Amino acid sequence: MSATILDGKTVANALQEDIAQRVEQFKSKTGITPCLAAVLVGEDPASQVYVRNKERACGKVGMASELFRMHEDISQEELLDLVRRLNKDDKVSGILVQLPLPKHLDASEVLDAIDPKKDVDCFHPSNVGLLSQGRPNFLPCTPHGVVQILKHFNLPTAGKNVCILGRSDIVGKPLALMLMQRTSETCGSDYANATVTVCHSRTPNLKELTSQADILVAAIGVPKFVTAEMVKPGAVVVDVGINRTDEGLCGDVDYDALLEVAGAVTPVPGGVGRLTVTMLMENTLKAATLQAK
């Protein structure tokens, strides 16, 4: 058996074409160009790459983007002042503060200061609360990307055992909330209604749990953590991890080994990462739409 490769580039390109059409329609109707404001603090190389990718994606779908580069030693109050200015700027549809922030800054306070209607990363407590109740303004970008990949390749979650490795606020928790709902905000009931198990570093008998999963999502941040022995034959494996090692980029699963066990698997790079940026474009358009009403 050889696993189906769940190519994120194909999914992202199709979605970006659709977003570009809707952006053009929105601009024609309202005269407003959706704009994403990105705040980058310091010189972290990975963060700079991510922000550059987001700027490029904005251009591809016909949106505007603004980048605010801040010195590493910016104070908490200075950063909060910038966020407040962006909240009041009618030209800015969405605000993205690139994480991680330098250690002297309180990231939670900064994210909480973003206007919930411009919170296109869906980190604000108001948006997290709405998500938990199944009535979100925005869907978190990476979890939404995971669901879009599953939909594109016709891999429904309804009635399936889904195991998520990782309980982060960015991936694990929100993805679990989304998959437990009665219906998906964008993909319908076939891509919700799952029985979800969330595992983490304190979970005993981890292999026993992962090997029962019909769909396994790895978001644990450890290179090649998921081995072939941990995967049910024929299972769908979605690798959210991206790790820089001496051999180059790799995910949280042992990709080559899983090709002979899994039914389908996402590559790294070229998998979920492309969808994360794409769903950020989706949220920025939605933010502009909400603000225009």
Q: Are 215 and 162 in contact (CB under 8 A)?
A: yes
CATH number of the domain at 140-273, please? 3.40.50.720
Average pLDDT over the chain, rounded to an integer:
96
Q: Which residues are catalytic?
A: 54, 98, 121
Cα gap 293→274, rounded to integer Å: 30
What DSSP state is assigned to residue 167?
A: -
Tokens 């698997």, residue located: 265
**pLDDT: is 261 or 51 the higher one?**
261
Residue 1 has pLDDT above 80, yes or no: no
Segments of the chain assigned E as strands: 4-5, 35-41, 64-70, 94-97, 161-165, 195-199, 215-218, 236-239, 243-245, 248-250, 264-265
CATH topology of domain 31-115: Rossmann fold (3.40.50)
Cα gap 101→190, rounded to integer Å: 37
The ranges of the chain annotated as CATH 3.40.50.10860 are 31-115
Q: Model confidence over 56-85: pLDDT tens digits? A: 999 999 999 999 999 999 999 999 999 999
The pLDDT score that the predictor gives to residue 43 is 84
The average pLDDT across 106-123 equals 97
Q: Is 155 helix (H, G, I), strand (E, B) or coil?
A: coil
Please give the angle made by the CA atoms of 282, 255 and 250, to the nearest 5 degrees. 65
Q: Is 151 helix (H, G, I), strand (E, B) or coil?
A: helix
Q: Are 243 and 270 in contact (CB under 8 A)?
A: no
Torsion angle in degrees (nearest 10) through CA of 106, 109, 110, 112: 150
Annotated binding site for NADP(+): 166-168, 242
The ranges of the chain annotated as CATH 3.40.50.720 are 140-273
